[in-house]
Structure 1
Amino acid sequence: MSKSEQAALREQRLAAKLRENLKRRKGQAKARADSERQAPEPQPEPGADTVNKP
């Protein structure tokens, strides 16, 4: 196997791993966005002033 064949195989492997990683990360981002949309962050109570503490 020549060096150019080895390099081509390596590029193919890396490209496949990159596509797989991108697909996984997009799925994670979508799941995170879905969970944030379903359970928004709680709003602080009007009387809970954290700025002017003695």
Structure 2
Amino acid sequence: MGNKPNDKTIPSKKGGTDRKQRLAEQLRANLQKRKAQSRSRRTGGADQRPDGLGASKDGQKD
């Protein structure tokens, strides 16, 4: 029952920098993925569908 500090209660400086590095890498990877998605959407051809929804041929039956 001494006052010996626990490893879990005291965050190490090294652990914090490792976490920051890992988060920065994940952020970069996510950004690259989103940029690639955006580029692929841009390079696709325009929609050939008419604008809006077509009118229903049958009358609405309640």
Query: TM-score, normalized by length of structure 2?
Result: 0.59
Deviating 4+ runs (over 4 angstroms): none
> In 2 relative to 1, CA 39–10 (structure 1 residues): closer, same or farther, beyond 3 Å?
same
The unaligned stretches of length 5 or more in structure 1 are none
Structure-1 residue corresponding to 2:12: 7
The two structures, once aligned, show a CA RMSD in angstroms of 2.3
Q: For 1:10 and 1:40, how far apart are their aligned partners in 2?
A: 48
Q: What letter matches 1:44 in structure 2?
A: R
The count of corresponding residues between Structure 1 and Structure 2 is 48
**Larger C-alpha radius of gyration, 1 or 2?**
2
Q: For 1:8 and 1:15, how far apart are their aligned partners in 2?
A: 11
Structure ranking higher in helix proportion: 1
Query: TM-score, normalized by length of structure 1?
Result: 0.66
